[in-house]
Structure 1
Amino acid sequence: MSRSRSGRAIRRAARSNGAGSGPTTAIWPGIEGGRYRPISQEGIRAIHDTALRILAEVGLARATPRCVKAVTSAGGSLTEQGRLLFPRGLVERMLETAGRGFKLHGQRPEFDLDPSGTRIHLGTSGAAVHVIDSETRKVRDSTLQDLYDMARLADVLPNIHMFQRTVVARDLTDPYEMELNTAYACALGTAKPIGTSFSSAETMRDAIAIFHAIAGGEAAWRERPFCCVSTCFVVPPLTFAEEALSIIECAADTGTPLKLVSAGQAGATSPAPLAGAVAQQTAEVLAGLVYVNLLNPGHPALFGALPFVSDLRTGAMSGGSAEQGVLMAACAQMAQFYNIPCAVSAGMTDSKMPDFQAGYEKGITELLSALAGANLIYEAAGMYGSLLAASKESFVLDNDLIGSVLRATRGIDVSEDTLAFEVIRDVCLGGPGHFLGADQTLDRMQSDYYYPAMADRRTPQEWAGSNPADLLEQARERTRALLAEPAPRHIPAEVDAEIRRRFPIRLPLPDTDSRAA
């Protein structure tokens, strides 16, 4: 038995890699979910019908002249109160032309994501204004360097499949420079699909000029756009954010994928009943889908209905609640009803630290979203305090958590081989009476099992005698080690230099040796 344990230890050491993912054959981006269905088929149809009634009878306020003209020319109308109405037939026609079958591209093809069906992918998002130091328990303003560091962590941690802006660069006070540098820090930090947001179309166009330079020209960008722009184009309840409509227009003009976000807060800016919150957010996202498809039929746009939860005792957001997980699963079902790739939010723990509360809140919300088959699960790594703060070492911890979510969602493969009758017979009738040394065990230990890098699976006796660093300290050490490695170099040095010549990039140059093309 001691020899067996020693052999397993050797194999375990050989399997581990620098990013700490565990075996890549047990989990992969795009595992299919869809087994968890919090809403019945009748309920989905009822929510859909209610959303169409909301659009046709209540409509949205504060549409811009261009939006009004586009919608009314297609059959909509404007009420005396200035609310833009979307008749059922118009919405149904635009749903027929909505973009489907598109990918979210990385700067390198091996990172491309297929958000179709019930395939799941997990990544980051948010606009946290603080970074938490879990060692000192101090909270400080987030910076551009923090954002770049987080992009670098996402780049090397294999279970984080895409990187959308996580923190606000509060060391840049000019909005134009902050948003431009945010976009570039994301693109420079990782070759995986990225995302960010903009407050004006003018800034967005300059950022897309940077993306053109990285991609190799406008045509190359349109062929493989690697940034999905998130726009909260609605201020719930049912009011357009006028400037954000220009972001939709810019995306349609430039071929930039969109995440159409409606983020009401149940009990505050959306109805308190969960079904009503889903119906309102569905209606609001459908309004955005109608507009972008009037501008550019088939435009790649994610269904971003994101009803958040209020703690009705205080009115505060409760991003880590069980209701949050159920709501995101329900919104995934609505997107699947329309056969449109969806984006949801999970992992938004209310805890301020990587602690027990954070673990169970992140775990339950991310697992429910994954089991429901949500295509793109944002906020899944690094976020704390209901999206107000972020933690770098949590990227390492959440990479493990996401791996476990992926493995649980994958389920169990049943076949003649996995039922293992022949192996059971051989072990029991003439073998050693256990399966530890069986060829099948060795063959399947990587394809069937996920091994978290950070979790402590030793016995209590082994643990007690080792005086180990706690999990958080190990995560800090691993984070420091990852950030000490050479910076990514997927953007050639000459392209980086040209971008810095044309635009006010404030992110310091990475080490010269690591940036060599």
Structure 2
Amino acid sequence: MTSPATRRSGGRAARRAARAAPLAQDIRPIRPGMEGGTLRTLSDADMQRIHETAMDALEQIGLIDAPQSGIDIMTAAGAILGDDGRLRFPRALVEDTLAIACKDITLPGRDPANDMHLSGHRVHYGTAGAAVHMVEPDGRTYRESTLQDLHDAARITDQLDNIHFLQRPMVARDVVDNREMDLNTIYACCSGTTKHIGTSFTDPAYIPDALEMLYMIAGGEDKWRERPFLSNSNCFVVPPMKFATESCEVMEACIRGGMPVLLLSAGMAGATAPSTIAGAIVQATAECLAGLVYVNAIQPGHPAIFGTWPFGLDLRTGAMSVGSGEQALLSAGCAQMHKFYGLPGGAAAGASDSKLPDMQAGWEQMCSNVMAGLSGLNMVYEAAGMHASLLGFCHESLILGDDLIGQALRCVRGIEVDDATLALEQIREVCVGGPGHYLGTDATLSRMQIDHVYPTLGDRTSPKEWAEKDKPDLITNATTRKQKMLSEPSTARFDPILDHALRRRFNIHLPA
């Protein structure tokens, strides 16, 4: 006969084994697309006033410097070209556009398990940016970023549960030809991750080749158009209230090629946007509404992400302040405006002004990531890895950001209140003739994985245990994990036949 002690021990062993096994996606404590929206930094009246002011700005001020093709497209839709060269947008035109704009966007991954559904307050975190340096925390140095660094960032992202998409976070400075840089960026990202990818293009003349590469990777143009796994991050405006002529031409070509677009307005509050938080949100909203008219005049209902990205500025020095509380408020307010219009949207949060993954980086990254998530921002760009006010990217920080975003997502999930979580019967069993504590009870053990998020690298040991383990260092452990992740073959790598075809057609700089 088995003793009670043996049965208990066996039960504990079984529970430990169950806890070690990966959880099913639907019962994980956090996952992509969790619903935020509980934080409201703007009242309904505030949002209405921002909307009315943005509409006034479009009607009375308008935007300048659209390419001739864009002028033709938008005036045909109802925009008015003034003698001063500015395109103005009647309120009725904007309202009609909002009625037909795509409200429910799915951004596919090459693996359907990584698809992102952007409706409502669903929250997704990912990378973004155009950093020109890599941060090397070991030597506390900066160096120029390379194509290999970009590919490695994609490979790391592919293995991190809480980084849901990869928008190109750095520029491949070792590829000097712009056309080859754009094409190699696609190759490096797509061969590194099966999550959705975002990138930009420097010249509209490069788009046909880019689309050809994407069609080849997808297995044909029809398959690409069915599941476009890469979107164009497009800075279609140069704030304040000016179209970016060449970027607009890129956008037109991408739309016609079946590529989703991110309408990115990135004014600097106090420099290229009003210094007040409300004013910066007004301008970004107006610019993105103009972009929405542009997109839908080309292709009604084309997937376009409402990318209000106003950035903070340190008015003492003129330096960016992406890690500030003002930045957190800017992005949270923008998230509310996206929901005001019922549009899928994105903004920047999670970047740091700190030069290294240190305490400053931690408080800056968490502050805006949590606020953006609680506000229900669909796409949180710059959420991990970005330092030095967007000038530096760090692989170790990307890995640590996965832990940080895990805690942010737990905040997004919020507090469930029902009969089970109110726990009256647990309290009764523990307090009336029970052990007087909840450690090891069936109720505690059964919920420890579905309710709680545990960091991968974050250290919760006591000082004594920490010392007994030779005082492990967070950055050193992140570097060790990076090396392990990069030592394994990429699961996103191309089939050898496809890879050979791509290399025969394009000048691929990464080694085979």
Q: TM-score range by the shorter chain?
A: over 0.9
| 1:62 matches 2:65 | yes
Partner of 1:292: 295
Q: Residue 260 of structure 1: CA displacement?
A: 0.3
Q: Shift of residue 10 of structure 1?
A: 9.7
Higher alpha-carbon deviation: 110-119 or 247-256? 247-256
Q: For residue 465 of structure 1, report the CA deviation from its aligned partner.
A: 3.4
Q: How does 1:140-151 map to 2 (within 5 A)?
A: 140-151=143-154
- Please tell me whether residue 503 in structure 1 is matched to residue 495 in structure 2: no
**Which is worse superposed, 406-415 or 291-300?**
406-415
Alignment match, 1:347: 350
CA contact (8 A) 1:23 1:447 kept: no
Q: Secondary structure at the match of 2:389?
A: coil
Contact 1:21 1:400 in 2 (8 A): no
Letter of the structure 1 residue corresponding to residue 502 of structure 2: I
Alignment-derived partner of residue 106 in structure 1 = 109
In the other structure, the counterpart of 1:513 is none
Partner SS for 2:471: coil
Task: State yes or no: 1:460 paired with 2:472.
Answer: no
2:372 corresponding residue in structure 1? 369
**Alignment-derived partner of residue 362 in structure 2:** 359
1:120 match: secondary structure: strand
Deviation at residue 13 of structure 1 after TM alignment? 8.5
Residues in 2 aligned to 1:194 and 1:44: alpha-carbon distance in whole angstroms:
31
Q: Counterpart in 1 of 2:172?
A: 169
Which residue of the other structure, out of 208, 212, 234, is the alignment partner of 1:205? 208
Tell which deviates more after alignment, 483-492 or 359-368.
483-492
Letter in 2 for 1:480: Q
Which deviates more, 484-493 or 178-187? Answer: 484-493
Aligned to 2:76: 73
Identity %: 50
Q: 2:323 aligns with which of 320, 323, 328?
A: 320
Say if 2:139 is the partner of 1:136. yes
Q: Which residue of structure 2 lines up, in the alignment, with residue 412 of structure 1?
A: 415
Shift of 1:74: 2.2
What does residue 388 of structure 2 align with?
385
Contact 1:169-1:182 within 8 A present in 2 as well: yes
Bigger shift: 22-31 or 318-327? 22-31
| Count of residue pairs brought into register by the alignment | 506
Q: Deviations over 1:324-352 (max 9, x none)?
A: 01000111111111111011111110000
* 2-structure distance, mates of 1:427, 1:393: 44
**What is the distance in 2 between the residues matched to 1:102 and 1:164?**
17
Give the superposition deviation at 1:468: 2.1
Asked whether 1:276 is paired with 2:275, we answer no
Which of 401, 404, 412 is residue 401 of structure 1 equivalent to?
Answer: 404
Specify the SS of the correspondent of 1:259. strand
Counterpart residue type for residue 195 of structure 2: K
User: Runs (4+) of structure 1 moved beyond 6 Å?
Assistant: 3-14, 20-24
What is the CA distance between 1:8 and its match in structure 2? 8.3
Which of residues 111, 125, 138 in structure 2 aligns to 1:122? 125
Match of 2:488 in 1: 485
Sort the Cα spacing of 1:463 and 1:8 in 2 relative to 1 into closer, same or farther, 3 A.
farther
Whether 2:431 is the aligned partner of 1:428: answer yes
CA distance in 2, matches of 1:59, 1:178: 34
Q: Distance in 2 between matches of 1:88 and 1:71?
A: 14
* TM-score normalised by the chain length of structure 2: 0.95
The Cα shift of 1:9 comes to 10
| In structure 2, distance between residues paired with 1:349 and 1:12 | 38
Deviations 1:266-285 (A, max 9, x none): 00000011111100010001
Distance 1:22 1:99, change over 3 A: closer
2:222 counterpart residue number: 219
Structure 2, unmatched stretches of 5+, are: 1-5
Native 8 Å contact 1:21 1:157 kept in 2 = no
Cα distance change, pair 21–376 in 1 and its aligned pair in 2 (3 A): farther
Q: In the alignment, residue 357 of structure 1 is paired with which amino acid? A: Q
Deviation of residue 43 (structure 1)?
0.7
Match of 1:39 among 34, 39, 42: 42
2:3 aligned partner: none
Matches of 2:272 and 2:14, distance apart in 1:
55
Classify 1:51/1:177 alpha carbon distance in 2 versus 1 (closer, same or farther; 3 Å). Answer: same
TM-score, with normalisation over the residues of structure 1? 0.94
Going from structure 1 to structure 2, the CA distance change for 1:173 and 1:5 (only over 3 Å counts) comes to farther
What's the RMSD between the two structures over aligned residues?
2.2
How has the CA–CA distance of structure 1 residues 182 and 409 changed in structure 2, closer, same or farther, with 3 Å as cutoff? same
**1:440 and 1:389 mapped to 2: Cα distance?**
46
Mapped to 1, the partners of 2:286 and 2:321 lie a distance apart of: 23
In the alignment, residue 86 of structure 1 is paired with which amino acid? F
CA distance, structure 1, for counterparts of residue 73 and residue 26 of structure 2: 51
Structure 1 contact 15–22 (Cα < 8 Å) conserved: no
1:256 aligns with 2:263: no
Q: Once the two structures are superposed, what CA deviation does each residue of 1:216-249 show, in whole Å capped at 9, x if it has no partner?
A: 1111111100001100010000111100111221
Aligned 1:223-234 pairs, distance under 5 A: 223-234=226-237
* Correspondence 1:45-56 to 2 at 5 A: 45-56=48-59
Q: Deviations over 1:163-219 (max 9, x none)?
A: 010111000100000111011111110000011000122212211211111111111
